[in-house]
Structure 1
Amino acid sequence: MQDQYDVQNIWWEKPNVLYAFLIRVDGVPAGFVFVATAPHCSADTDFFVHEFFLMQPFRGVGIAEYAAKEVFRRYPGRWEIFTNPSEKNRVGQHFWRKTVSNYTQGNYKEQHEQTYDGEKLIFRFLNH
């Protein structure tokens, strides 16, 4: 259990490099977003969504999309998001496709690529 905490500590040890956001709904914790910058993302990326989670009771009502867009708005630059490309993750793929498309008005790239963490569906966009 201690190892799990040690892995997560990095998010509070590197201000202005790693950003941790708590998603709250009516003051209640509902999820979180972890955003990484260099050197914790690829060289041609400014911001990388490392983790994005919303608890089940808060899903399907627009909270996740609102939270993602708020994080994007805070940081102009080149963004990258990885998600699992398998059939089991169709909901996650749909969420990112819809959210990124709405945010960028369709001006983004989507492709399957090999990463350090295996094959991923990757979304890339610029929001300067």
Structure 2
Amino acid sequence: MNIEVRLCPKEQSFIIHNLYPLYLHDMSEIWGTRPNPYGIFDEDAGVRTLSELSERHENWWEQPSDLFPYLITVDGSAAGFALVTDESEASSPNTKYHLNDYFVLRAYRRQGVAQKAAVQLFNQLQGGWELQTNSSERNMTSQIFWRRTLDTYTGGKYTEGKGVHPKKGDMLVFRFSSNR
């Protein structure tokens, strides 16, 4: 199985746009969100189509020094994405990168794809990292995944604490460095 993590060029942004609604659907189980009246998982009740939802995320390809949309592929097929922001999104001053969203399709889960892709991503962007995940019991799978992945990647040299996201509420915050 050939796993590749690479910056997604603008010409291929449609791939992440295609995957994004699946991510939102998966997250609805954790966050308890419901689709809007038009069947779109979005906090804006006025978004009526997936095309409109995609348009709202075009900024990921318009700010190349601040926003980093990564595509995850397995044997050349789209398998997920990682949306990384610069330090402005992080809550710690020692953080250079913030993992905003991370998603691997269900077809590739429990095969080591997510962990290997995360390691590739961290190795590509050297410096201090922060990622946040829902701290509720509904999200234990993700919490276990990040603890195991970061423990292996950093040799146990990461921190875990509680934080509060302005929109999402209580979060579990992980911080580590990818400097090797």
Hey, what does 2:120 align to over in structure 1?
70
Query: Is 1:13 aligned to 2:62, yes or no?
Result: yes
SS of the residue 1:125 aligns to: strand
Give the TM-score taking structure 2 as reference length.
0.67
Number of residue pairs matched?
128
Query: Is 1:56 aligned to 2:117, yes or no?
Result: no
Query: Is 1:96 aligned to 2:146, yes or no?
Result: yes
Call closer, same or farther: CA 1:124–1:43 in 2, change over 3 Å.
Answer: closer
Name which one, 1 or 2, has greater alpha-carbon Rg: 2
Give the TM-score taking structure 1 as reference length.
0.93
Read off the aligned partner of 2:176 and give its amino acid letter: F
Read off the aligned partner of 2:162 and give its amino acid letter: H
Which residue, out of 68, 71, 78, partners 1:22?
71
Query: Is 1:124 aligned to 2:168, yes or no?
Result: no
**1:10-51 deviation digits (Å, cap 9, x = unpaired):** 111111211111111111101100000043333512100000
Query: Is 1:111 aligned to 2:111, yes or no?
Result: no
Hey, what does 1:35 align to over in structure 2?
84
> How far, CA to CA, are the matches of 1:47 and 1:126 in structure 2?
10
SS of the residue 1:93 aligns to: helix
Return the structure number with greater strand share. Answer: 1
- The alignment's C-alpha RMSD in Å is 1.3
> How far, CA to CA, are the matches of 1:111 and 1:43 in structure 2?
12
SS of the residue 1:10 aligns to: helix
Structure 1 residue 6 displacement after superposition: 2.9
- Structure 2, unmatched stretches of 5+, are 1-48
Q: Percent identity?
A: 36
